[in-house]
């Protein structure tokens, strides 16, 4: 097992997608508080409920080291954009983080590298931490385009940014073929992509920013496979869908991250 030679804090993010009501969101966080009191260690714990559940989640997380995130945002500060939510609205609701560019947004809702970039800027302007998702599809993987795609998505997302501003972002490597499929990347495959993304960060923002960058893995994480992923030197935590819907399994993932 390669030792971790850096001081990045582990991070575990629950992405609930279109699951849970406000009452269910609050009940989950109350249970998590019992299972992982004070959250048990160094791990940064983040929960991303659906928009109508944010208030209940923020209230339930009061006094508990559990940050609340939006699952998406619009880049404009306000305007005639029916159905959309701004960064300032998320911040005012008590969010500290926001997921940007999830592959489900890219695949099903027309998210592009350009809108990802605008959303990252908007999140940062409202002092939210953007959790920026990148990752190749199965076809791109089969065509040996992984590095091409990852570098392109990375460069577009953080285009023209100062290193100091970039250092407020979190990156998530989420290979599309691994999301919700049960087909988790092997620790070696995940590490290869994370190492490459850290190299992209170094090329643009320098070694310090690259070393400090938190890179999460996402795609069919389970308590049984998280440990081996976290043992990789460039894997700093997880962005978790299915296994984050039950407090017991999410608490087990937090425990794995704290055991680093």
CB atoms within 10 A of CB 99: 26
What count of other Cβ atoms lies within 10 Å of the Cβ of residue 48?
Answer: 28
Listed residue (75, 10, 73) closest to 46, CA to CA: 10
67 touches ligand PGA by CB under 6 A: no
Interaction between residue 49 and ligand PGA (CB under 6 A): no
Residue 15, interface with ligand PGA (CB under 6 A)? yes
Question: How do 11-15 and 44-48 pair as beta strands?
Answer: parallel
Question: By Cβ distance, which residue is nearest to ligand PGA?
Answer: 241
57: contact with ligand PGA by CB under 6 A: no
Q: In angstroms, how far is CA 110 from the centroid of its own chain?
A: 19
Given the rule CB under 6 A, which of 23-31, 117-125, 198-206, 239-247 is the region that contacts ligand PGA?
239-247
Are the beta carbons of 113 and 154 closer than 8 angstroms? no
Out of 25, 220, 225, 249, which residue is the one contacting ligand PGA (CB under 6 A)? 220
Do the beta carbons of residue 196 and residue 188 sit within 8 Å? no
* Under rule CB under 6 A, residue 241 binds ligand PGA: yes
Under rule CB under 6 A, residue 242 binds ligand PGA: yes
Q: Is 190 in the site for ligand PGA (CB under 6 A)?
A: no
Q: Does 14 bind ligand PGA (CB under 6 A)?
A: no
185 belongs to the binding site for ligand PGA (CB under 6 A): no
- Name the DSSP class of 214: -
Q: Does 239 bind ligand PGA (CB under 6 A)?
A: yes
Q: Of the listed pieces 32-40, 142-150, 157-165, 238-246, which binds ligand PGA according to CB under 6 A?
A: 238-246
Shortest distance in whole angstroms from residue 226 CB to ligand PGA: 11
Q: Write the interaction track for ligand PGA spanning residues 159-178; mark x where CB under 6 A is met and - where it is not.
A: ---------------x----
Selected range binding ligand PGA among 33-41, 55-63, 218-226, 246-254, rule: CB under 6 A = 218-226
**131 sits near ligand PGA (criterion: CB under 6 A):** no
Q: Which DSSP letter does residue 86 get?
A: B
For ligand PGA, which is the closer residue by CB, 101 or 219?
A: 219
**249: contact with ligand PGA by CB under 6 A:** no
Taking CB under 6 A as the rule, does residue 226 contact ligand PGA? no
Return the active site residues.
Answer: 102, 174
* Distance, CA of 128 to CA of 109 (rounded, Å): 22
Instruction: Tell me the C-alpha distance between 30 and 9, whole Å.
Output: 24
- Would you call 29 helix, strand, or coil by DSSP? helix
Please list, in sequence order, all residues whose beta carbon lies within 8 angstroms of the beta carbon of residue 160, skipping any fewer than 6 positions away: none
- Whether the Cβ atoms of residue 50 and residue 81 lie closer than 8 Å to each other: no
- 3-state secondary structure at position 46: strand
Residue spans of alpha helices (H) in 18-85: 22-35, 54-60
- Count, residues near ligand PGA per rule CB under 6 A: 13
User: What residues line the site for ligand PGA (CB under 6 A)?
Assistant: 15, 174, 179-180, 218-221, 239-243
């Amino acid at each position: 097992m390669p030792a971790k030679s850096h001081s990045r804090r582990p991070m575990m993010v629950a992405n609930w997608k279109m699951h849970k009501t406000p009452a269910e969101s609050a009940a989950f966080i109350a249970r998590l508080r019992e299972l992982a009191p004070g959250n048990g260690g160094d791990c940064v714990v983040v929960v991303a409920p659906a928009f109508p559940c944010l208030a209940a989640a923020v209230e339930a997380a009061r006094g508990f080291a559990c940050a609340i995130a939006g699952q998406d945002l619009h880049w404009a500060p306000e305007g005639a954009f029916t159905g959309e939510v701004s960064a300032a609205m998320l911040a005012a609701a008590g969010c500290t983080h926001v997921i940007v560019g999830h592959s489900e947004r890219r695949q099903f809702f027309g998210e592009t590298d350009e809108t990802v970039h605008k959303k990252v800027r908007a999140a940062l302007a409202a002092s939210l931490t953007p959790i920026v998702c990148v990752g190749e599809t199965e076809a791109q993987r089969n065509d040996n385009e992984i590095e091409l795609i990852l570098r392109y998505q990375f460069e577009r997302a953080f285009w023209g940014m100062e290193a100091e501003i970039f250092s407020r972002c979190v990156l998530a490597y989420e290979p599309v073929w691994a999301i919700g499929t049960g087909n988790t990347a092997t620790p070696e495959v995940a590490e290869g992509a994370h190492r490459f993304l850290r190299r992209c960060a170094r090329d643009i923002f320098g070694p310090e920013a690259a070393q400090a960058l938190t890179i999460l893995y996402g795609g069919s994480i389970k308590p049984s496979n998280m440990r081996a992923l976290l043992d990789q030197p460039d894997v700093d935590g997880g962005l978790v869908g299915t296994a984050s819907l039950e407090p017991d399994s999410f608490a087990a993932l937090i425990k794995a991250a704290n055991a680093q």
